[in-house]
């Protein structure tokens, strides 16, 4: 998406909000309005949906936090965290404390955005029939995606023990206006959370349009049918439901809406044709926290996450992905997030090809294409030597090389039963602690093993 379109979308959203609120300048503050009066019109519901997207784009969520938490938790010194933030250093060292403010805000902001989505879903009767499916689908997408991220981070993985017994995270499916003792929810099981995630995302896929257009611009910054299917593919893959993961990824690929960027570098521009869902950032709104921590100082970042030779040596000499780095002050940084105001990619088409290849291989099927064809499609774009045969190890390595620094590291380690160095995938310190603030205020919550 070019700068003009990004600013157009931002200005349009602001204009919409100003128009909607212009006749309300003298009303009571929102927190003192009765809930029954807060969402009276379709315009009110649309404004609340914009607020849910704003929550989703928070730096502690898809604005960067979810991604770097996933990568730093799963890192085995492929990078060195050289910054001054002790909170991120704890995550990288796998010594997270219950008072860590990054993980605390991941939880808080996640539930805040979920609550906004719940408010939208509670007022669908105020929305016209023509628009109701789209608005419901978008709210369900936001809620389903966030519950998936929360349960992955704060609970045991699906393949660790018994999902129907392991504590997940509390499911809150109705709006919360004023917190009372009745809102002290116990943790639902991992299985219950996954059931809700699948319900939300499956319904979202069925309700959403193929594209979301604003004026003459088509934007992947808003939930679509393919965005829901792409996150579904991740969910099913995490559950080792390979047939459903394969089919969801194949639906995205065969929709024809997206195509691989012609070069690997082009995949990380705002105009990339392969970004299925992104967080829109402009110089007026939003922050790309992947730029903040991953990019070098000359590229407007802090230069905190420094890529080590150990990782770069995994790439073949002719693989352009192995040179997609920058160097400053004798340190190396990924070039995926060099644009301070660049959109944050959440899921790309390349990942769908990798998911389809892996699941087809595991199932000995060739839905859409053979695993070898899909892997070589990705490798050809990277100028890497095409493979003549492919096995599971080669596919998992390809995921690591292609999706590095995009948040999938710990998820892939856990679902495949791998290790972080010598630390097993099911170790207590690879699960984030429930924030102490939540434990103190909600006596129904039980802390994760290994944390006081």
pLDDT digits (tens, 9 = 90+) for 169-226: 999 999 987 766 677 899 999 999 999 999 999 999 999 999 997 654 557 799 999 9
**Residue with structure tokens 């099911």?**
426
The low-confidence residues of the chain, meaning pLDDT below 70, are 1-37, 179-181, 214-218
CB 267 within 8 A of CB 378: no
Architecture in CATH for domain 3-25+39-420+435-441: Alpha Horseshoe (1.25)
Residue 128 burial (CB < 10 Å; 0-12/13-18/19+)? Answer: exposed
DSSP strand pairing (305-307 vs 79-81): antiparallel
CB 231 within 8 A of CB 404: no
Residue 22 burial (CB < 10 Å; 0-12/13-18/19+)? Answer: exposed
| Residues 378/291/281/65 CA torsion (nearest 10 deg) | 90
What are the phi and psi torsion angles at 75 (to 5°)? -80, 135
Q: Where are the domains of the chain?
A: 3-25+39-420+435-441
pLDDT digits (tens, 9 = 90+) for 325-376: 999 999 999 999 999 999 999 999 999 999 999 999 999 999 999 999 999 9
User: How far apart (Å, rounded) are the C-alpha atoms in residues 58 and 66?
Assistant: 10
Structure tokens at 104: 């605390």
User: What integer pLDDT is reported at residue 29 of this predicted model?
Assistant: 33
Residues in the chain: 452
| Nearest of 283, 286, 184, 194 to residue 231 by alpha carbon | 194
What are the phi and psi torsion angles at 419 (to 5°)? -135, 160
- C-alpha distances in Å from residue 267, one per residue of 131, 172, 348, 437: 32, 36, 8, 39
């Amino acid at each position: 998406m070019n700068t003009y379109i990004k600013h157009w979308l931002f200005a349009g959203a602001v204009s919409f909000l100003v128009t909607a609120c212009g006749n309300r300048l003298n009303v009571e503050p929102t927190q003192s309005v009765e809930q029954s009066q807060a969402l009276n019109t379709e315009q009110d519901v649309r404004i609340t949906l914009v607020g849910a997207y704003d929550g989703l784009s928070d730096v502690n969520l898809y604005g960067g936090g979810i991604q770097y938490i996933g990568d730093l938790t799963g890192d085995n010194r492929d990078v060195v965290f050289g910054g001054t933030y002790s909170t991120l250093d704890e995550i990288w060292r796998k010594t997270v404390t219950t008072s860590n403010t990054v993980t605390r805000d991941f939880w808080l902001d996640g539930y805040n955005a979920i609550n906004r989505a719940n408010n939208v879903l509670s007022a669908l009767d105020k929305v016209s029939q023509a628009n109701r499916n789209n608005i419901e689908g978008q709210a369900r997408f936001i809620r389903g995606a966030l519950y998936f991220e929360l349960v992955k981070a704060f609970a045991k993985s699906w393949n660790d023990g018994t999902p129907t017994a392991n504590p997940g995270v509390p499911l809150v499916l109705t709006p919360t206006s004023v917190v009372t003792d009745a809102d002290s929810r116990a943790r639902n099981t991992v299985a219950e959370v996954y059931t809700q995630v699948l319900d939300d995302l499956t319904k979202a896929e069925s309700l959403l349009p193929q594209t979301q257009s604003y004026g003459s611009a088509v934007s992947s910054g808003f939930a679509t049918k393919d965005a829901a299917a792409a996150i579904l593919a991740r969910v099913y893959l995490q559950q080792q439901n390979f047939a459903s993961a394969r089919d969801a990824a194949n639906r995205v690929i065969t929709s024809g809406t997206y195509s691989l960027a012609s070069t690997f570098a082009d995949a990380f521009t705002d105009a990339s044709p392969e970004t299925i869902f992104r967080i829109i950032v402009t110089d007026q709104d939003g922050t790309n926290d992947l730029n903040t921590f991953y990019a070098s100082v000359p590229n407007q970042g802090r230069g905190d996450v420094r890529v080590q030779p150990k990782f770069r040596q995994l790439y073949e000499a002719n693989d352009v992905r192995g040179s997609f780095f920058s160097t400053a002050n004798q340190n190396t940084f990924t070039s995926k997030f060099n644009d301070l105001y660049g959109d944050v990619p959440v899921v790309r088409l390349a990942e769908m090809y990798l998911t389809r290849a892996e699941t087809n291989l595991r199932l000995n099927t060739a839905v859409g294409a053979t695993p070898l064809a899909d892997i070589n499609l990705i490798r050809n774009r990277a100028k890497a030597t095409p493979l003549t045969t492919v096995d599971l190890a080669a596919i998992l390595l390809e995921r690591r090389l292609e999706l590095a620094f995009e948040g999938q590291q710990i998820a892939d380690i856990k679902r495949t039963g791998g290790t972080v160095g010598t630390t097993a995938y099911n170790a207590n310190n690879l699960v984030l602690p429930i924030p102490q603030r939540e434990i103190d205020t909600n006596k129904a919550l039980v802390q994760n093993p290994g944390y006081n």
